[in-house]
Structure 1
């Protein structure tokens, strides 16, 4: 497992692997790709990643070209999904974000928050795109 930096994310995107992540990760937030796999469903790709947030750390508003299914491993996370009220999630809880929906995650606890997420996305597209 290695942490993706901007350079490796750009290299992965250039190679067409579909592992490209946010253009630049926010301070206090890191995402580590654990598995990157083409699926048998035509044109679909799955990425499993571990995201870590320091206290107050935030992912930044972004979208995915496919669904995100997440599990909070540790800590307390506020999930902000456009069009929905904010949700506070604790360790052991799960969440779902539909394709193309703008969302953000923020650690609202006192310790580190950890999320394990699976992204089922269109092959050849970056896993996440930052929204300004």
Structure 2
């Protein structure tokens, strides 16, 4: 990733996806499995970013790069992941994430999803 980090700690290439939630799309490619693609995104959370429930049309593999994030997956107790921790969210599982630290928290999200479907669907 190029560029200078902004004073608030957010990557200059990031696009705000929701209040306090910034996304940087890194790559998107078709897979050898018909109808599937991989999408890799850097997601940056401010401490005041409100969590929202959502799901994906495939698996999400998470690696926490910076800070601490609490994940709530339907049917499971909350889990806090710190920099260096990994977590996998299954196909269609409703979940949410929130920053439980004081600074910017960052995850690398790799999605193995059905091609042509929305990457993220909010559950209200």
Task: Give the TM bin, normalised by the shorter chain.
Answer: 0.7 to 0.9
Matched residue pairs, number? 113
Residue 26 of structure 1 deviates from its aligned partner by 2.1
Preserved CA contact (<8 Å) 1:29 1:59: no
Deviations 1:74-121 (A, max 9, x none): 000000111100001100000000010100000010111000010000
TM-score, normalising length: structure 1: 0.81
Instruction: Identify the structure with the greater strand proportion.
Output: 2
TM-score, normalising length: structure 2: 0.86
Preserved CA contact (<8 Å) 1:26 1:59: no
- Residue 89 of structure 1 corresponds to 81
- Residue 127 of structure 1 corresponds to 119
Within 5 A, what are the aligned runs for 1:31-42? 31-42=23-34
Matched, 1:54 2:46: yes
Q: Which residue among 69, 73, 76 is the counterpart of 1:77? A: 69
Structure 2 residue runs of 5 or longer lacking an equivalent are 2-12
Instruction: Identify the structure with the greater helix proportion.
Output: 1
Preserved CA contact (<8 Å) 1:58 1:104: no
Structure 1 residue runs of 5 or longer lacking an equivalent are 6-24
Q: What is the CA–CA distance in structure 1 between the aligned matches of 2:89 and 2:21, rounded to whole Å?
A: 19
